[in-house]
């Protein structure tokens, strides 16, 4: 996986991969133009869409209706260091599923790549390339 992020001015950035793009910005009260989701909101979107995907895949694999699967994600900030300290993921599935399949959806959502990454954080290596910045500014 690879993502390229470009600064667009102000507090706005565009993330691009595979011909798709997503805008990230800050709300006006935080110096932005509110033209896109903030980075933490994008993280919630990644977690929620991953959970929804795994729930829908579980249902579709069993020829059960996946239409109507909805996920809502909320989060709370924590300090020292500043981070998201709590996520709540609520998965709504079509009515009429028996308890076994509701449990199956829950197990499937727990297998979500983003969920598991947040539970077992990956190593993050950060490098600042002075040459690339200097070249693009010239």
Same domain, 110 and 47: yes
Domain range enclosing 64: 37-137
CB count within 10 Å of CB 34 equals 14
Same domain, 60 and 23: no
pLDDT classification of 130: cutoffs 50, 70, 90: confident
Does 136 score more than 60 pLDDT? Answer: no
Same domain, 13 and 50: no
Model confidence over 75-123: pLDDT tens digits?
999 999 999 999 999 999 999 999 999 999 999 999 999 999 999 989 9
What is the model's pLDDT at position 131? 75
Number of domains present in the structure of the chain: 2
Same domain, 58 and 117: yes
What is the model's pLDDT at position 121? 87
Cβ partners under 8 Å of residue 85, min gap 6: 76, 77, 78
Same domain, 44 and 92: yes
Measured between alpha carbons, how far is 124 from 10 in angstroms, rounded to an integer? 26
Same domain, 20 and 51: no
Same domain, 27 and 44: no
Structure pTM?
Answer: 0.89
DSSP H or E run through 55: helix 39-61
Same domain, 47 and 26: no
What is the model's pLDDT at position 35? 97
Same domain, 14 and 66: no
Same domain, 119 and 56: yes
What is the model's pLDDT at position 93? 96
**Please, what is the angle between helix 39-61 and helix 99-110, to 10°?**
140
Same domain, 89 and 132: yes
The CATH number covering residue 74 comes to 3.30.300.20
Model confidence over 20-56: pLDDT tens digits?
999 999 999 999 999 999 999 999 999 999 999 999 9
Same domain, 84 and 24: no
């Amino acid at each position: 996986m690879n993502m390229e992020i470009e600064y667009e001015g102000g507090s706005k950035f565009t993330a691009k991969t595979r011909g798709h793009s997503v805008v990230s910005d800050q709300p006006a009260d935080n110096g932005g133009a509110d033209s896109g989701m903030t980075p933490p909101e994008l993280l919630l979107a990644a977690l929620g869409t991953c959970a929804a995907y795994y729930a829908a895949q579980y249902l579709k694999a069993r020829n059960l209706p996946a239409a109507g699967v909805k996920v809502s994600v909320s989060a709370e900030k924590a300090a020292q260091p500043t981070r998201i300290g709590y996520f709540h993921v609520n998965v709504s599935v079509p009515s009429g599923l028996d308890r076994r399949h509701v449990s199956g959806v829950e197990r499937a959502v727990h297998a979500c790549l983003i969920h598991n990454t947040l539970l077992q954080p990956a190593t993050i290596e950060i490098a600042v390339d002075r040459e690339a910045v200097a070249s693009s500014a010239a």
